[in-house]
Amino acid sequence: GLGTAWITGLLEEQGRMKLDVSIGIFYTATMALAILFIGLMKTYNAEVYGYLFGSILSVTADELKLTAGLAAVVVGLLILFAKEFFFLAFDQEMAEASGVPARRFFFLLLTLVALTIVVSLKTVGAILVFALLLIPAATAYQLTSSLRRMMDYSVAIGVLVSVAGVLLSFQFDLPTGPAIVLLATGVFFVAVALSPKRAPKPATP
């Protein structure tokens, strides 16, 4: 996980490939490998399927403690270096010119994302992890142009769709992971339809 994050960071840094493009390629490649290995298995293996689709309702106390500990570390570092991360997200070259060690913070951010993904894989699965990384942020982007509000909205949307997805899965006996992903996707399309960014701009005289 860390190796993949650092490779994508190096590709972005050297200008060979945009970060979102390399992440998309690595994600689809690893998903294809996972499905290939599942197809080659002759017997059902619940643990392997769990890494792909997750088993959020069977999280153990130890896994919950590990996730909570990692969340505390990630949130603490984000708060501690909030100004640097905001500067980096806005303009990496300007941050570097202003004396911020942008390269270090860039790879620190990638490392935090990679650790979060690796720890979350067994409990929520690869599909749900990447969905919760992408969809709430994309939804928040439709609602505001402020970076700080975008982060706040993204966290709130991620928590709300997760809780609502779990409740729906209990109520209608649905798989929890897909319920959360589909609910998040529905919220995204509603945000796109109602986005203030889609409002027609007043005509200039």
Asked whether residue 203 is domain-assigned, the answer is no
- For the ranges 2-16, 20-34, 135-149, the maximum mean pLDDT occurs at 135-149
Average pLDDT of the chain is 76
Asked whether residue 201 is domain-assigned, the answer is no
Asked whether residue 14 is domain-assigned, the answer is yes
Asked whether residue 204 is domain-assigned, the answer is no
Q: How confident is the model at residue 20 (pLDDT cuts 50, 70, 90)?
A: low
Asked whether residue 114 is domain-assigned, the answer is yes
Assess whether pLDDT exceeds 60 at residue 173: yes
Alpha-carbon dihedral 160, 163, 169, 171, rounded to 10 degrees: -100
When pLDDT is averaged across residues 44-64 and rounded to a whole number, the result is 68
Number of domains in the chain: 1
Residue numbers of the domain that contains 176 = 2-196
Sign of the torsion angle spanned by Cα atoms 85, 86, 92, 97: negative
Residue 186 is predicted with a pLDDT of 93
Residue 26 is predicted with a pLDDT of 65
When pLDDT is averaged across residues 158-169 and rounded to a whole number, the result is 90
Q: How confident is the model at residue 183 (pLDDT cuts 50, 70, 90)?
A: very high
Q: How confident is the model at residue 180 (pLDDT cuts 50, 70, 90)?
A: confident
Kindly state the DSSP code that residue 135 receives in the 8-state scheme: H
Assess whether pLDDT exceeds 80 at residue 203: no
101-132 tens-digit pLDDT: 877 887 888 788 777 777 777 667 777 787 88
Residue 156 is predicted with a pLDDT of 93
- DSSP per-residue string spanning 21-56: HHHHHHHHHHHHHHHHHHHH-SS--HHHHHHHH--G
Asked whether residue 202 is domain-assigned, the answer is no
Residue 108 is predicted with a pLDDT of 83
Count CA atoms within 13 Å of residue 180 on its CB side: 27
Q: How confident is the model at residue 17 (pLDDT cuts 50, 70, 90)?
A: low
| Exposed / middle / buried, residue 166 (Cβ in 10 Å: 0-12, 13-18, 19+) | middle
Entry pTM: 0.71
Assess whether pLDDT exceeds 60 at residue 16: no
Residue 46 is predicted with a pLDDT of 60
